[in-house]
Structures are given as C-alpha cells and as structure tokens.
Structure 1
Amino acid sequence: MKINWGTGIVIAIVAFMSFILYMVITMSTDNTYSFDLVTENYYQKEVHFQGEINAEQNALEYKDKVTIQRTVDGLKIEFPKEFSPKEIKGKVFLYRPSNKQLDFEIPISISNTYLLVPEKRLLDGRWNINLAFKYKDKEYLIKREIQY
C-alpha cells in the first residue's frame, strides 16, 4: 500500500492530537501531578494586598535590624533592641511551597526581644517566612526565604 502526502499529513496530525489528548487526560486525572495553591483564599487575600504593601514599606527601616537565624534550639527571630517586647503583637507564618501540610503559624508573645521557633517543627528544605507584627499602632510585614 502506498501512502501519498495528504494521507501522511492527516496521519501525523491525528497522531499528534492523540498524544496531546492523552497527556491532558493523564495530567488532569493522576494524583501524582497535583499542585497546591500557595494560598487557599487567594481572592480574599487580594483585597488586603494594599495593607500588606504599606506594612512592607513600614518594615523597610527595620529590615536589617530584624534578624532571622538558625540556632541549635531552632529558628531565632530577633527584634530590634529598642522595641519593648510586651508591645510587639502579631504572628509568624512559616510555609513550605512544596507541601502545604507542613505550614504553621505562631503568635508573637514574647518577654525578650526574640522569638524561638522549635527545631522539631522545621524540616530541612526551603521555608518562606511572613513576619507580620504591630508595634505602637504601626503595622510591619517582613517576608524572607530561608533554606533550613
């Protein structure tokens, strides 16, 4: 049987379309290819985005003074010495882009100028840290990425 140009092109197009259709069905139904969103309530968080921008602008003056470092006991978040620890209110949100089951949040309630996140809560890998706090009626937001 001899195949002419027209038949060959039709066979090539049908084979390509079949391959693409197979890949779409496989990727959309197989659980091993599932991807988590960074946040579940994306649109609700978008409404508060201008507040985050303002808080990040406020935090620029303290960006280098707020240190986040790994210690033997865990992750130490140290605030500037001029801050009164009892007036710092807020939360630390740590999340793993690779696995949302490891995400957790810690309220800031300190008596010293530092907060310690326990070592047992942190697995090795990349962590994104959102440090949102309020000091003297001014909101601050510091975002960092660390490799633990």
Structure 2
Amino acid sequence: MATIHNQETKKSFTWWPYAIVAALLLFMGYIASFVYRAMRQDVDLVSTNYYEQELAYQDHMDTVGRTNAAGNVAIDYHAAGQTITLQLPESFAGKNISGKINFFRPSDDKLDFELPLQLDADRSQLLNTEKLQKGLWKVRLNYSAGSENYYSEKTIVIE
C-alpha cells in the first residue's frame, strides 16, 4: 500500500510556483524598461546657466525692493486704442532715466522682442500693440536712474 501512495504523489503537478516566478519576472522586466526610458528622457526644467542665475537672484530681489520703495510703475493696456502706457512714479522726476522694455511671450519665445525706453517729459511712454499677436504677454521694464537699477513687470492679455 505504501507504493500506491508514493505513485499518486509523484503524478500530482502544480503550475502555481512557475506562474508566480513568471509574474515576478515580467513585473521586474516592466520596471526595468520603465527606469531605462525614464533615464533616457531629456528634462529641460532648469536652464544651462542655473548657477549664475541663482547668484544673480539676490541682486534682482534688491532691484525689485528698490523699485517698490521708489513707487510702482504703471503699465496699463488699453484694448480700445491698442496701446500700452508706461508711467514712472513722481519720484523719478528730473532724473536721467534709461532702460529697455522687454516683451516676453511665454507660449512662443520666437515672438519675444525688446524696445528702448524713451520717456516723455511726464515720465511716460505710449506703445502701439496693433502688430502684437493676441494672447498673454509679460511686459518687463529694466531701467536705471543714475547708478541705481530698477525693474518692473506686468502680465497683460492682448485682445
């Protein structure tokens, strides 16, 4: 009788251990291929000269603080007249002011351009926007009065 019992246990076969090993191998292969594709992905979240920009950040913050202390620049878009008006505060009256106006288009860097700051006697400048594409623009004003630098920025939507 002992021989009959041994023959029955030898004929019994199960696929579960092989199925579990195969599932683990497939899972490990999937994870390995995912890691391989992720490592080959080109990520451009940081500029190439990030370190230099980080060092200049404190200077920029000082410039913004100086601008806020002197009074904010009014950058107003007038849809009816298709114009942008820049108006420097009264604290800049009688000072020799020079600078640049940068138009930045976040969605298409090919549309970015720069204009010189040419203020009237009342410290204002009128800019025509008829040729600008409709959409979101950032108007950045970098200017200096004497030896001090100033910066102002406003987001506008051209209609």
TM-score, scaled to structure 1: 0.71
Q: Aligned pair in 2 of structure 1 residues 87, 40: CA closer, same or farther (>3 Å)?
A: farther
Structural RMSD (CA): 3.1
Deviation string, structure 1 residues 50-98 (Cα, Å, up to 9, x no partner): 32222111111312xx211112132221112453377221112221222
Q: Aligned pair in 2 of structure 1 residues 93, 107: CA closer, same or farther (>3 Å)?
A: same
1:7 to 11, 15, 22: 22
Secondary structure of 2:153's aligned partner: strand
Match of 1:67 in 2: 74
1:87 maps onto 2:96 in alignment: yes
TM-score, scaled to structure 2: 0.67
Match of 2:107 in 1: 98
Match of 1:31 in 2: none
Deviation string, structure 1 residues 17-47 (Cα, Å, up to 9, x no partner): 435545766x64xxxxx9687x775444444
Identity score, percent? 22
Q: Aligned pair in 2 of structure 1 residues 110, 54: CA closer, same or farther (>3 Å)?
A: same
**Distance in 2 of aligned mates of 1:95 and 1:111:** 24
Q: Aligned pair in 2 of structure 1 residues 137, 15: CA closer, same or farther (>3 Å)?
A: closer
| Equivalence map 1:39-54=2 (5 Å) | 42-54=50-62
| Equivalence map 1:104-115=2 (5 Å) | 104-112=113-121, 113-115=123-125
Q: How many residues align?
A: 139
User: Does structure 1 conserve the Cα–Cα contact (< 8 Å) formed by 2:95 and 2:146?
Assistant: no
Q: Aligned pair in 2 of structure 1 residues 35, 77: CA closer, same or farther (>3 Å)?
A: farther
**Distance in 2 of aligned mates of 1:115 and 1:87:** 15
